[in-house]
Amino acid sequence: MRKKLLFAAMAVCLVLASACHFRDNSQVPVITVSGGLRPTISFTPDAAYELRVYEGSEDGDGFGVLWSARGPGGFENNLRSPVIYGIPPAGYDGQEAAPLEPGKTYTITVFRKDPQGSGDGFQNTRHRYDGLLTFVATAE
């Protein structure tokens, strides 16, 4: 009886462990920004689902977004690097933005869906990877 319970417990642990998906830090977007008041924003890996720009040195977590860009397809990683600040990418219905102001601080956040995870709702094994960069805008 004990052996059967032990075997059943080990089987359950094995099933649960196989359903786990561990965070892969190589998927966190690394962001670079060119100079200028309409800088080119590049990120690697080169696909994400959303990019947000905030005025100031903090990510507003969706509040106070100065400009944002999304790829087509909702939360799919269809936004391709590079993106030019203020110019909506192809397939996105966003608004243009005024150029940045020289000497002001801005923060960029890039959101990337985990390409290895699966499922939704209670069965979700997917992570969201966020890259963050704060910079000071400079004239050309």
Computed over every residue of the chain, the mean pLDDT equals 82
Q: Is pLDDT at 34 greater than 60 in this prediction? A: yes
Q: Is residue 15 predicted with pLDDT exceeding 50?
A: no
- Domains annotated for the chain, with CATH where assigned, are 25-136 (2.60.40)
Average pLDDT in the 12-25 region?
Answer: 55
pLDDT digits (tens, 9 = 90+) for 92-111: 877 889 899 999 999 999 99
Q: Residue 3: is its pLDDT beyond 50? A: yes
62: phi then psi, degrees, rounded to nearest 5: 100, -15
Task: Return d(Cα 54, Cα 79) in angstroms, integer.
Answer: 18
User: What distance in Å separates the CA atoms of residue 12 and residue 14, rounded to the nearest whole number?
Assistant: 5
- Beta-strand pair 83-84/47-48: unpaired
pLDDT of residue 23: 64
- Tell me the average pLDDT across 2-7: 67
Query: Which own/partner contact pairs does 118-124 have at CB distance under 8 Å and 24+ positions apart?
Result: 118/21
User: Residue 32's pLDDT is what?
Assistant: 98
CA–CA dist 96, 116 (Å, integer): 33
By percentage, how much of the chain surpasses pLDDT 70?
77
Is residue 73 within 8 Å of 92, Cβ to Cβ? no
Distance CA 117, CA 64 (A): 30
Reported residue count of the chain is 140
Q: What is the pLDDT of residue 5?
A: 66
